[in-house]
Structures are given as C-alpha cells and as structure tokens.
Structure 1
Amino acid sequence: MTQTLKVFVARLVGLVVLGPDGESIGRVRDVVLAMHLPGQRSRALGLAVELAASRRRIFVPMGRVTNIDADAVTLTTGRVNVRNLQLRPNEALAVGQVLESPVHTDDPEFPELHETELSVVDMEIERTRSLDWVVSRVALRTGRRGLRRRGETRVVPWNHVVGLSKLNLNHPGHGVELALTQFEGMRPADVANAFRELPEQRRQQLAAALDDERLADIVQEMTTDEQTALLASLNRARVAAVLEAMDPDDVADLLGVMPAAEAEALLARMAPEDSAPVRRLLLHSPDTAGGVMTPEPIIVSAGTTVSEALARVANPDVGPATATMVMVVRPPTSTPTGTFLGVVHTQALLREPPANLVAGILDDDIPRLRPEDSLEAMTRFFATYNLSLAPVVDESAHLLGAVAVDDLLDAVLPRDWREQEPEGLPR
C-alpha cells in the first residue's frame, strides 16, 4: 500500500528541487491547482519550479515527486521538461492566486465562524493511494479581533470550505500582497519571467500595486509587446511616471514602436529633464549606435578627484557595464557634453590615491563609436577591443552617450529572445 504524504503549500515554497541524481534543478515557487466544481476536491497538478540556471519557471508534475523533506523535493528518474509554465483554463497558482482569497466555512466544529468571512492562508495537499495529490485541509484566518492585528487561524477539512471552488481568482486583492512579498529580493528579470506565467488580469493587479521604480525595473526586462500590453492597463499619468523611472534608452525603444501621436502624448506628460534625453535618442535609427546608446553614462570633468569618481561608480543604480569606466569631458557634463577628453577605467581608479585628479590617469586613446555606426560595426568594435562600454562621440568631439555591451546584445538578438529557451540547460 502506498504511503500517503501530506504537506502544506507554504512549506513547499523555497525548497530545493533535486533530480534523480541529486543535482539541484531549482526551487519551488508555487503549486499549480486544478480548481474543480463544488463537492470535488481540488487537485495539485504540479510544482512551479524556478530553474537555477535561467530563473525561468517550469511545470513539474506532482507525479514526478518521490519525496519531500525539510530541505528539498526529490524527483523520480526521467527527463525534466524545461518549457515555460503556462496555466490552462480552470488552473490556478496556490500562492499567487488562491491564498488570501475570501471564503466561508460550515465546519460543525466552529459554529461561531459560519457567518464570518474568512481568508485562505494555506492549503494542505496529500498524496492518495492512487498517487494523485489533492487538497485535504485548508487553513483559514478570521478578521481582526479587538486589539489584535490579525485574527486566529483555523484548519478545516476541504469539504467544509464554502466558496473555494468558485473563487474569482482575478478579484482585486486576492493574493496580491503575498505575491508581492514573494517577489521581494528577486531580480527584475526573474520577476518579469514570473509575470509571464500569470493571467493578464493578475499581471495588471500586481503592476498597479508596485511602486513606480520597481515596476520600471521589471518592465525594462520584458519584451516590447509585453511592455505595451502591461502599460496599456495603466492610466497615462501612471505610465508617464513609470517611464520617468526607466532608463532613457529603454524608453526610446518602447516609444519607438508606438504610434507617433501616442508617443508624443506620453513624452509631453513626462518631466522635461526626463523626456529630453529620450527625444534625442529618438532622432537616431534604433539599429545605430545613437539609437542603442544610453545618454547617461558616468561623466565627470578633468578636475574631478579619484574619490569623487569612485563614488559615482559605486552608485547602486549604475549597471555593471557602465561602471567599468568614467567618461571625462570639458563642461558641460550633461550630454551632449563639451569636448570629449577620454576615459578613466575603474581598475585604474582603484590603484590611485583618492585625492589625485582623474586627469592624471586619463586614457585619451580609447576607441570610440559614431552615432551612425551600424549594429554590425558595433559588434566588430566590441569584439576587436574587448570592451564592456564604448563612448559615442559626434564629429565635433561632443560625447553623446555610451553603448554598453548588454544593450548591444538586446539590439542584435531576436525581438522575442526573452521568451525563448536558452540552450545548454539540464534536461
């Protein structure tokens, strides 16, 4: 006879998933449920697993699970399908959609709760003799009581939960707070991947709940089509605020595919200091250095000290490629700048006394790009000079911006590269 396993969903989240050979595949991020009609148990179909190699989320059937302990979930032998997780009709994510949903109970053990609206805080799933996994019990929380911030929690059998099978999973607030908590500490690219597996309306609810800066970071990691669809659900004032928090080159890429009138309307709503660099980028073709560059590299004058330059490099908002060098120009230091003098490499800054001036360690022979250079020319440039960042200078020797190697990769890869499966992943 098959031993029955029981586990609460919240305990599964974050556990390492081990393959049959003991190798780590990723971590559990959610449980996929089949929401059935009243009188039928909801089934746990599988796990939403975040791959360690790519941070994408895949579906692993519960039938592949052989053991669950305090630290890990172990899978049976066989190949793991690494296709992206996609929910089917009548399927839901336990953590992302069901938890925090309002329900009632008719459990005879708790008659005092029969007329009370409760919220789902956890769900126990168990493996049956037929090897199916089903919801067995549900943890419910009452509302606030007296001076207590939260009510008490009661665990009741699944068949005494009223409304679980009829949940409006897209109702505002259902699971939003818990989902936001789950996204804390995750890289924006990983959150963007998690967004792809959610229903459209849930994506819109989460976007509405995120602050402008966090949402901007996430939107920058989406495809243009995904960006357009998500921002279309927000009012124009909110869209303009998110665009202001994005990097100018990413904003230019997005507005460049919009109808001209719509793009101009959004630019008009943005603060002038945020819209001005975007307008300059839009003057260039998107497949040239002028269209790919960021207009906001680290720029200083020749009289800047080494300690001041390093403080600019240490800014957490500066990307890794941009932080590899500091552009040195004559005033003004906002693009388009005065005469471009050269660069100072961050490694050179680290070897100099803090009080020294950057002018003393200037690399004035650094190769540079022209704004009209093509993607092919930029690719050859980076391959030839082994740089992570390249200055873009016009014919009058004014610095216009800089092309980072990651922005070049974004430009040369297919538009849907974020949705494609990376090669070389364990299967």
Structure 2
Amino acid sequence: MAAGAPRIFVSHLSGVAVFDPAGDQVGRVRDLVVMLRMGQRPPRLLGLVVELATRRRIFLPMTRVTAIQSGQVITTGVLNVRRFEQRPTERLVFGELLDRRVTLTETGEDVTVLDLSVHQLPARREWEIDRVFVRKGRKGSAFRRAKGEALTVEWTAVTGFSLEEQGQGAENLLATFEQLRAADLANVLHHLSSKRRAEVAAALDDDRLADVLEELPEDDQIEILGKLKEERAADVLEAMDPDDAADLLGELPTDEQERLLSLMQPGDAADMRRLMSYEERTAGGLMTTEPIVLRPDASVADALARVRNPDLSPALAAQVYVCRPPDDTPTGKYLGTVHFQRLLREPPPSLVSSILDSDLQPLDPEADLPAIAGFFATYDMVAAPVVDEAGALLGAVTVDDVLDHMLPEDWRETEFHLDEEVAPDGS
C-alpha cells in the first residue's frame, strides 16, 4: 500500500488471500498483531497471522508486506514458517480488541468497538491503527443486536484498550468470520484464549455451535461444553450429529452424562444411549442414527426431495435406505439402498422399491474399524447401512466418520513441522 493510500478497516482483511510476488497463494489472513504503546500513541501494527494450507499459523511481519490491494495481500516472497506464538506485549486485533468496551475520553461514555482502521505511515514501512469504529449504547447479545449511534473516532479519543475485560462479547468478531466454514471457524476458536473462546461460543446460535464443536479437538469440545449452562449444553448436543454428540458425551463423567441426557428430548436421549452402548471403534459406535429412511411405497420424487435437504452432509445425502415401517431407527425390515445417481436416472413417479440395490451386505453393528474401512475401499462407498440381527436398520456409517477414527487423535492440529526460513515454494 503506497503512502497516502486510503485507510483499511481490519474487518476487510479477514480471510484475505496472501500471495507471493509470482502470484502463488501462500495462505490467508486470520488475525492482525499489534503492540499497544504508552500514552496516547496509536498502536503499531507488527504483522499478520497467516494460516498456511497446512493449517499452521505463522507470523508475517508488515515489513514483508509489499501491498494490500484488491482484496489481497502481497508479500516479498520469503516467509518464516515457525508457528506463531503470541508474546506478552502483543495483542490480537480480531481475538482481543473487537467487541471490547472502551470509553470516549471527551464524554466518559462507554462504547463497543466494531472495527479498527490501519494506515501506513508516510515514507516508512511502518503501520499504525489510527481510528476506531464504535457504537454507543449497551452491548448486544447473541439474541439482541445492540442499537445506538455508530461513529468513527481517532485512536486518541478512546481509552480502555489496555485493561483486562471480563465480559467482552463476540458479536463483531463473529461478523468478521461469518462466511467461514465450520471447520475454519473451529480453527479460529482453537487459537483463541480460553476466555475468548467461551465468549464466542456463548454468542453462537445452537446449530452453528454444534457444527463448530464437531470440528474441534476433544479437549476444546469438553472445555466449551463445560462452560455452557446445562440446559443449553443439552440443546447443543441435540443439534450435533448423533454420533459426534455420543462421542462427546462418552468423554464426560457419568453423573454429568446423566444430567445432560435427562435434559434432552426423550427420543434424542434414547439415540445417545444406544450409540454409547457400542464400542467406539465399531460400526455401532461410528454410525449416525439419522440416515434418510423411506418406505417401499415412496416415490423417486419423494427420495430426491429428502436428498435435497441442505442440512444433510454430502455423505448422508448420497443414498437413501428403504425399510418397512417403522421408518425411525431402529426401523422395520431393511430392504436395500438406492444411490442418488440412480434416483436421477429414474422417472419421478417410480417407486424406490423397484430400483433397490440389495446385493451388498450391510454392516454388522459390532464390525470393527479395519473391517469397515475395507468395506468402503472395496465397494467405493461413501456411506453404508448398519443392520442388526433382526434385519432392522440401526443407522449408517459415513466415510468422514471412518477417517476421523483412522487418523491420529491430534490430526486436526497436525502441521508440517518446518522451522527454518524459506520461500513459499520451499527454496
């Protein structure tokens, strides 16, 4: 960014791609690192936290940023790929400065920080935060957006950024990351402080938090769930995929499990107990109890309507399972499976019972992980039915659940461990 260029509001840098001089993408901006200074001097912008394709977060000094323009950051092409570690004198803009309450020095009025702007100093490769976008009035909540006059003031017009804040909120941080996939937002939460992680989790709605929890490491899941009120924790567990919720419940003390199960809807609690009765690395322990189940007299049009449900994962939407009533798991007699590609080739009025694939043997609930993985690999499956001795459909195992349990326990945090300074191309 050349001297004299317009200021940049930090919310516009969230998720922005970072490129080397050759035009190759090296990562995305996940936060900004600033250093607060004594007196009324504006904070110095030290650099950017950049997430590489390996999900490792590194520090990119502003001295190595040659341009910020057209929704992208250009670097000199040389990166230090050591893992970013925040120093005591540093503050993260997204993680610590947004949403906090500060005070207008002129009036003494408390305001909430919505955004910050940065600019490059003339004739120097140094950047500062120069202005603060704030909102007057009370702080908003997860269910009520704050109302009040919004205004932009000079950094020197506010005070309170250096103070520790107990109830910071997360409305504007979430707005900054609202377009992230659940897995990417989970990665953001994982790198926040425990206090800030709890604040963000409290601000998420139940469905969004459920999706994010499913993508977090086990320790983070337990920590966040433990900081929710029990009634809300039960609601979030109900919103999670049953198999993921059962895995999380299984990590809790028995008395806590029972308290949460007692607060859940009876049907959801029954599913949880059934899943928890199986060994973790078996088909029964891995399956979800909510596959698409249809009766034999359902039409192809009915099946396609169910497959279109946007809340279904791609693996669960890949096929439907045809069973005699009842059609809630555990169902009546399992008859067979119809893949969605077959559904697309058939006339909408056709009955699903006329196009069943009943050749493949379903999985036994006691089948172990190697047997399940072999089944998926042999038949190129993305999901498979789990059927009990009486022929009733219990649920379905999806390929993502198999991979989750075959990868190392810390796979969500696995990175390439490179510590030397290299160019993005590895030279």
TM tier relative to shorter chain: 0.7 to 0.9
Q: Counterpart in 2 of 1:34?
A: 35
Aligned pairs for 1:8-87 (under 5 A) are 8-10=8-10, 11-39=12-40, 41-51=42-52, 53=53, 57-79=57-79, 81=81, 83=83, 85-87=84-86
- Structure 1 position 402, deviation (Å): 1.1
Partner secondary structure for residue 74 of structure 2:
strand
SS in 2 for 1:232: helix
Equivalent position amino acid for 2:217 in 1 = T
Indicate the residue corresponding to 2:322 in structure 1. 328
* Structure 2: distance between partners of 1:154 and 1:213: 34
User: Which runs of no fewer than 5 residues in structure 2 stay unpaired?
Assistant: 138-146, 419-423
Q: CA deviation at 1:259?
A: 1.6
Residues 347-426 of structure 1 mapped to structure 2, 5 A cutoff = 347-421=341-415
Q: In the alignment, is the contact (CA less than 8 A) between 1:392 and 1:403 conserved in 2?
A: yes
Q: Does 1:215 align with 2:209?
A: yes
Give the corresponding residue for 2:187.
193
Query: 1:408–1:13: structure 2 CA closer, same or farther, 3 Å change rule?
Result: closer
Q: 1:153 aligns with which of 151, 154, 157?
A: 151
**1:167 corresponding residue in structure 2:** 163
Aligned partner of residue 378 in structure 1, secondary structure: helix
Which digits, 9 at most, give the CA deviation of each residue in 1:243-266, with x for residues without a partner? 111111001111112222221221
Q: Distance in 2 between matches of 1:131 and 1:379?
A: 54
Contact between 2:296 and 2:352, CA under 8 Å: does it hold in 1? yes
> Residues 426 and 252 from structure 1, CA distance in 2 versus in 1: closer, same or farther, beyond 3 angstroms?
farther
C-alpha deviations, 1:333-359, integer Å up to 9, x for none?
111111111111111110111111001
- My pick for the range that moved more, 62-71 or 93-102, is 93-102
TM-score, length-scaled by structure 2: 0.87
Give 1:97's aligned residue: 96
Report the Cα distance in structure 1 between the residues aligned to 2:387 and 2:19, rounded to whole angstroms. 51
Change (3 A) 1:260 1:118: closer
Instruction: Give yes or no for contact 2:118–2:127 (8 Å, CA) kept in 1.
Output: no
How far is the alpha carbon of 1:365 from its aligned partner? 0.6
Instruction: Give the Å deviation of 1:116.
Output: 3.7
Cα deviation, residue 9, structure 1 = 3.6
Distance 1:354-1:172 versus aligned 2 partners, 3 A rule: same
Cα pair 2:46 2:127 within 8 Å, conserved? yes
Q: 1:189–1:71: structure 2 CA closer, same or farther, 3 Å change rule?
A: closer
Q: What is the rounded CA distance, in whole Å, between the counterparts of 2:199 and 2:81 in structure 1? A: 30
Higher relative contact order (CA 8 A, sep 6+): 2
Give 5+ residue unaligned stretches, structure 1.
Answer: 107-112
What corresponds to 2:132 in structure 1?
A: 139
The code of the aligned residue for 1:260 comes to T
Q: How many residues align?
A: 409
Supply the distance in 2 between the matched residues of 1:214 and 1:316 (Cα, whole angstroms). 14
CA distance in 2, matches of 1:253, 1:45: 41
Aligned to 1:258: 252
Amino acid at match of 2:191: E
Asked if structure 1 preserves the Cα contact closer than 8 Å seen for 2:336 and 2:356, the reply is yes
1:340 paired with 2:334, answer yes
More divergent stretch after superposition (14-23 vs 373-382): 14-23
Post-superposition shift, 1:377? 1.0
How well do the aligned residues superpose, as a CA RMSD in angstroms? 2.7
Q: CA deviation at 1:241?
A: 0.8
Task: Please report how far the alpha carbon of residue 172 of structure 1 lies from its aligned counterpart in structure 2 after TM superposition.
Answer: 2.6
1:58 deviates by: 4.1
Q: Per-residue deviation at 1:190?
A: 0.9
In the alignment, the residues of structure 2 paired with residue 263 and residue 279 of structure 1 have an alpha-carbon distance, to the nearest angstrom, of 10
- Relative to 1, partners in 2 of residues 1:79 and 1:30: Cα closer, same or farther, differing over 3 Å? closer
Q: Against the structure 1 CA distance between its residues 19 and 80, is the aligned structure 2 distance closer, same or farther, given a 3 Å change threshold?
A: farther
Equivalent-residue separation in structure 1 for 2:133 and 2:379 (angstroms): 61
Instruction: Find the counterpart in structure 2 of residue 318 from structure 1.
Output: 312
- C-alpha displacement at 1:123, in angstroms? 3.0
With normalisation by structure 1, the TM-score equals 0.87
